[in-house]
Amino acid sequence: MSFQQGLSGLAGASKSLDVIGNNVANASTVGFKSAQAQFADMYANSMNRSGNSPVGIGVAVANVQQAFTQGNVTTTNNPLDIAINGDGFFRMQGSLTDQSPMYARNGQFQLDKSGYIINPSEKGAYLTGWLGTVTGGDPVPLKIDTSNIPATATTLVSTKLNLDSRLTAIVPATTPFSPTNAASYNSTTGVTMYDSLGNSYNVQTYYVKNATTSTATTTDWDVYATIDGVTYPVAGAPVKLDTLTFNSSGVLTAGATGSSFALATLNGTFVKPGATFPAAVAFDYTGTTQTGQAFTPVAQDQNGKAPGVLSSFSIGKDGSIIGNYSNNDTKVLGQVLLVNFANPNGLSPLGNNLYTATADAGQPLVGKPTTGQFGVLQARAVEDSNVDLTTELVNMIVAQRVYQANSQTIKVQDTVLQTLVSLR
């Protein structure tokens, strides 16, 4: 007579309750994956299998299986919170010197005092990926580079206008151009350009419909300019930058890319101390038209920039970390990577929402989110625990009944044993 079956049943039911209790306790743990106790029956076998018993000797806990199903995604106010929607794990590192990889689904990140992205709930583990525009190699701890973007001197101003063909042409000999005389030009517009240190300069361009050089089939518009209110060039009478010529259909036929400032001669006159201009700033009027409509600046751009200070950064669904700067520029600061395994159930829990890889999990596959088998990232969000409390509470009732039933088998065995002992 044996108590083995009942004892093993009690142990199995107790283990099941442990697993269920752990699930319930972590119902609010971000990125937690629920588990289930799996059981196998036991039989006593002789070495040569000649004495096998058809009656089992109880139950054993064969495995505790985790369910790596997707949890609900909840939005947050933290720009560094990241949820994985799909397959994959964040690759973490315990410290800057300890490069042993760990893996997690908990994306509650923040910056430490040095600018590294860490997860405080994982004992400050470092999130790893690629820095800057690097697209290969071993992942390293991600650090937000807060250095400024240097200024870029302007070398090209692109302007697209519509010049009003209805305006009265001006005779330059009679009314020479002067920025202070509105009767000496027909239209004007401005643009800001920058020197090597990012100092800004206001360039105002003026357009004069030339009655002298225009013909019955073409119209000439002379282009003049001032820099910070001073006529170009500095010395002598104003000199036109170029002449824009239009045919009878209003199409620009000459002067589209011929205009330029010879700025090399202006250093020391306008340029701030320590700064320089390029030798020339080219003007491109490609796409400019002349029609019977009001003067309209259609598009205007220049390739210089003031220095930029990092004002914010965001994380894209592909894991790219994009820095936004005060000069409206953007820059790739890093790349969050995901890791996947052929058998995620082969991962070994470390606690603190972390796992470590084992041989059963297979080789780690590293890649960018949204590619291949990797999921999509969602910033300002976290993945909730996938524990279903309703299911767990029902399972708890079942496990309790199983425990009670197994205790009854022990009680009956005890009664039978007492009956045998009391035989006379």
pLDDT digits (tens, 9 = 90+) for 309-318: 999 999 999 9
The pLDDT score that the predictor gives to residue 7 is 85
d(CA 238, CA 178): 8
Average the pLDDT over 72-101 and give the result.
94
The pLDDT score that the predictor gives to residue 82 is 96
Among residues 302, 382, 346, 360, the alpha carbon closest in space to that of 82 is found at 382
- pLDDT, greater one: 234 or 18: 18
- Domain at 156-302, CATH class: mainly beta
Among residues 42, 48, 26, the alpha carbon closest in space to that of 388 is found at 26
Write out the H or E segment, with its range, that includes residue 17.
helix 4-25
- pLDDT, greater one: 278 or 304: 304
Average the pLDDT over 400-413 and give the result.
86
The pLDDT score that the predictor gives to residue 340 is 96
DSSP 8-state class, residue 338? E
Kind of pairing between the strands at 330-336 and 320-325: antiparallel
Q: Is 198 left (phi over 0), alpha (psi -120 to 50) or beta?
A: left
Query: Could you read off the pLDDT of 114-126 as tens digits, one per residue?
Result: 999 999 988 889 9
What value does the mean pLDDT of the chain take?
88
The pLDDT score that the predictor gives to residue 270 is 62
User: What residues does each domain of the chain span?
Assistant: 4-69+386-421, 73-145+311-383, 156-302
Query: Could you read off the pLDDT of 282-303 as tens digits, one per residue?
Result: 889 999 999 999 999 999 899 9
Amino acid found at 28:
S
**Pair 336, 130: CB distance under 8 Å:** no
Band of residue 411 on the pLDDT scale cut at 50, 70, 90 = confident
3-class secondary-structure state, position 415: helix
- pLDDT, greater one: 381 or 62: 381
d(CA 276, CA 299): 27
**Pair 300, 154: CB distance under 8 Å:** no
The pLDDT score that the predictor gives to residue 49 is 58
The pLDDT score that the predictor gives to residue 332 is 95
The pLDDT score that the predictor gives to residue 29 is 93
